[in-house]
Structure 1
Amino acid sequence: MRRVVTGHDENGRSVVVSDGPIPRSREFTSLPGWVSRLPWATEPGDNVSRTGEDPTAKVTSLLPAPGGTRFIILTLPPDTAMADPAFDPVAFDEEQRADSPGIADLMEPDGMHTTPTVDYGIVLQGEIVLELDDGRCTPLASGDIVIQNGTRHAWRNRSGRPVTMAFVLIGAESDG
């Protein structure tokens, strides 16, 4: 996956300041097919970056504070990968905590989680199921979007093929 970042030159003209792979990208060894990418992030009060300086190296939590954002691309293998006898859930948990601080801390053993964010999710490729608190499952396919309003949920890939999703997480104040 390629990331193109724009900014401004010394004369204020728009230019491409970076063009290449996403620097903060991880292919998990504990779960082949699981790929996590953080193309961009903002913190509360950030101004538009005129230089296009990469903020992702400084991110210590994938959960943005209120007013902050995270742009995350995830590729998830089919759920059957976790049923493989070679799958080591302890190693996966360790990789999740290293790669996804903040979010990994909220994960329940069954994958359900709640984040204090408003999330815009887009299925880029493949099919996935959104499971909510009440057990209701909503199938999603390429091009579908989900607006997550701080609700408890899990992602289930029952398709037999990898799925890639893009998420923009917006830190929000909780009203409850």
Structure 2
Amino acid sequence: MPSTRVVTGHDALGRALLVSEGALPGTESFQHSPGFSAALVWRTRVGASVGVDGRIGDCAPGSVLPEPGGSCALLVTFPAQSSTLAAEVDGAAAANELCERLPGLGERFEADGFHSTDSIDYGVVLDGEIWLELDHGQLVHLRQGDIVVQGGTRHAWRNRGAQPARLLFVLTGAVRNGA
């Protein structure tokens, strides 16, 4: 599903202005993971500011994962598992594509989809339903409108529903303590 990204800022007098407006790149389905898409909406680094000459962030190449104090927003579509089971998927090609399209994050995925990041993540289910699986097997069923807050936990997403699930994630970079 196409999305439009609108970015606002300020002119030299401090008045609000439209900085950019256009299609959000990255919402197209992955070639090697049919029905899956993940688009970097925006990213901020430490020291982001607003106002005249404010630097609210960018979408320049580099890791999509935020450093401590930074943030990123991702729009992700998870296809229904029933549709992906029918498709022949080349696991190595899918993993390479994930790393190319989501640098820094793709490398954190294990073969079974589990991953963790050094961030506090806010996930909002926009459409569909999805299951959050924690590393010890606990499953949490989330539906449209539900919100999950994750504190760097190892987890995987499973769409056991019949329709695609679309989620918005905002990751805030954090420092990992302990094991």
TM-score (norm 1): 0.91
**Structure 2 unaligned regions, length at least 5:** none
CA contact (8 A) 2:130 2:165 kept: yes
Partner of 2:58: 55
CA contact (8 A) 2:5 2:23 kept: yes
Partner of 2:99: 97
Could you list the per-position Cα deviations for residues 94-140 of structure 1 after superposition, in whole angstroms to 9, with x for gaps in the alignment? 11010111111111111111111000000000000000022010000
TM-score (norm 2): 0.90
Partner of 2:77: 75
> How far apart, CA to CA, are the structure 2 residues paired with 1:161 and 1:25?
17
**Equivalent in 36, 39, 46 of residue 37 of structure 1:** 39
What is the CA-CA distance between 1:11 and the residue it aligns to?
2.2
TM-aligned CA distance change 1:81 to 1:92, over 3 Å: farther
Letter of the 1:55 partner, please give it.
Answer: D
Partner of 1:140: 142
SS at match of 1:119: strand
SS at match of 1:27: coil
> How far apart, CA to CA, are the structure 1 residues paired with 2:30 and 2:155?
22
CA contact (8 A) 2:78 2:164 kept: yes
Partner of 2:86: 84
Total equivalences in the alignment:
175
TM-aligned CA distance change 1:148 to 1:54, over 3 Å: closer
Letter of the 2:172 partner, please give it.
Answer: I
Displaced runs of 4 or more, over 6 A: 51-54
RMSD over equivalenced CA pairs, Å: 1.8
CA contact (8 A) 2:121 2:172 kept: yes
CA contact (8 A) 2:43 2:70 kept: yes
Partner of 1:8: 10
**Structure 1 unaligned regions, length at least 5:** none
SS at match of 1:86: coil
Partner of 1:128: 130
Percent identity reads: 42
